[in-house]
């Protein structure tokens, strides 16, 4: 089992906090976001960890981890960072965004997933947006679930039928070896043939991981929701940092 932490982005909405610091190096409760993730993975028996870096990569210095530099971090988005680490798809792998804080319980649940492509989903997600003015409900990376399968994944899904559920993607996913092969094969074909808009992005290079997952769904593959109730929150603004410190117990 391997883990990949996607840490190439700048985090412009955090203003002066990330002026000289990568987003993943923000410290909350005495640990950086990256440090906390490494500790959780180690506690779960995952010691093969790769960090995909970009912005201010020299600031990220941890021992016993591998590093891959996304040299195009300034002109690409998180999906491109994911495939910078595609050589790590040789075995089962858990992938996490760097700008999230979460309890170990979520990774423990993900380890129990036996399918090919599974993503962590919270159905009780709206509570995280209470008293949150700078990162609103409409910015949530939602999933639409029907018959235990994800049919749609993008920001701001608000309509559903009585047979459907809306959840939020937590920025954590697990791939089997086959699941990694499915994503890589699809990505390589797109890289050679796709032009113009790609789902919600202006181009494949500017795509989010959610855009890639929607492409996989549209191609007939299952993307399975792993429902979790563990504490989790995205750190996108200074307001988010204050909210985590006030309402969450991650110490």
Instruction: Give me the residue spans of the domains in the chain.
Output: 2-247
CA atoms within 13 A on the CB side of 43: 12
For the cut 80, the answer to whether the pLDDT of residue 145 exceeds it is yes
Distance CA 26, CA 17 (A): 8
- Give residue 131's pLDDT band: very low, low, confident or very high (50, 70, 90): confident
What's the average model confidence in pLDDT over 182-192? 97
User: What is the reported pLDDT for 35?
Assistant: 97
What's the average model confidence in pLDDT over 93-103? 97
User: What is the reported pLDDT for 17?
Assistant: 92
Contact call for residues 50 and 68 (beta carbons, < 8 A)? yes
For the cut 90, the answer to whether the pLDDT of residue 108 exceeds it is yes
Pairing of strands 93-97, 2-7: parallel
For the cut 90, the answer to whether the pLDDT of residue 70 exceeds it is yes
User: What is the reported pLDDT for 47?
Assistant: 97
Q: Is 148 exposed, middle or buried (0-12, 13-18, 19+ CB in 10 A)?
A: exposed
What's the average model confidence in pLDDT over 173-202? 97
DSSP label at residue 2: E
User: What is the reported pLDDT for 251?
Assistant: 67
With CA atoms as reference, report the closest residue to 216 among 228, 226, 224: 224
The reply to whether CATH 3.90.550.10 applies to domain 2-247 is yes
For the cut 80, the answer to whether the pLDDT of residue 204 exceeds it is yes
Looking at every residue in the chain, the average pLDDT score rounds to: 95
DSSP label at residue 166: E
What's the average model confidence in pLDDT over 112-126? 96
For the cut 90, the answer to whether the pLDDT of residue 247 exceeds it is no
């Amino acid at each position: 089992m391997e883990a990949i932490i996607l840490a190439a982005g700048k985090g412009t909405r955090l203003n002066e906090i990330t002026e000289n610091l990568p987003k993943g190096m923000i410290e909350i409760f005495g640990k950086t976001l990256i440090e906390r993730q490494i500790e959780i993975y180690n506690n779960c028996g995952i010691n093969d960890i790769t960090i995909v870096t970009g912005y201010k990569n020299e600031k990220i210095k941890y021992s016993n981890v591998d590093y891959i530099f996304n040299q195009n971090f300034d002109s690409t988005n998180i999906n491109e960072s994911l495939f910078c680490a595609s050589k790590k798809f040789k075995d089962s792998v858990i992938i996490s965004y760097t700008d999230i804080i979460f309890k170990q319980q979520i990774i423990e649940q993900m380890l129990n997933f036996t399918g090919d492509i599974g993503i962590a989903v919270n159905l009780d997600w709206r509570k995280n947006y209470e008293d949150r003015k700078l990162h609103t409900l409409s910015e949530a990376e939602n999933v639409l679930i029907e018959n235990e399968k994800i049919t749609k994944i993008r920001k701001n899904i608000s309509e559903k039928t009585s047979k459907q559920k809306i959840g939020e993607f937590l920025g954590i996913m697990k791939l089997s070896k086959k699941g990694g092969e499915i994503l890589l094969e699809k990505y390589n074909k797109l890289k050679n043939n796709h032009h113009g808009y790609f789902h919600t992005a202006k181009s494949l290079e500017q795509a989010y991981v959610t855009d890639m997952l929607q492409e996989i769904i549209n191609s007939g593959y299952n993307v399975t929701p792993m429902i979790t109730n563990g504490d989790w929150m995205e750190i996108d603004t200074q307001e988010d940092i204050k909210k985590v410190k006030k309402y969450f117990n991650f110490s």
